[in-house]
Amino acid sequence: ALYYLGPMCQKETSSKILKSTANITTVIDNLEKRSYVKRIRQKDDRRYITIHLTDKGKVALEKILPQHIDEVVKCMSVLSKNEKSELYKISKKLGLSNKQNISE
């Protein structure tokens, strides 16, 4: 999400990748330890922290992303056009439901 959408707060990040806010803290902690992301506090409100992808994180993503996309395309190739359409609808519904649950 950070690669495509840019810096965002932890809550936004969790909603984009369908993870709970508790779970995303651990994920971000681990990525930060590896210097793939960094947390930056806002100057006007020190409570608000945005997550930024580092240059090292961008390089790592650009290295693995094409392979990941190829794997997803390969997995999806067994589905018919109708099945892909149905999967898209179901995934969208699950994503919207998760987004609503996170904001509550």
* Residue 17: band (very low, low, confident or very high) from pLDDT cuts 50, 70, 90: confident
How many angstroms separate the CA atoms of 10 and 24, rounded? 7
Angle, CA 75 vertex, CA 73 and CA 81 arms, to 5°: 75
pLDDT computed for residue 104 by the predictor: 54
Is 0.75 topped by the overall pTM?
Answer: no
User: Among 39, 38, 37, 1, which residue's Cα sits nearest to residue 18?
Assistant: 1
Render pLDDT for 48-101 as a digit per residue (tens, 0 to 9).
889 999 999 999 999 999 999 999 999 999 999 999 999 999 988 887 776 666
Which CATH class name applies to 2-103? mainly alpha
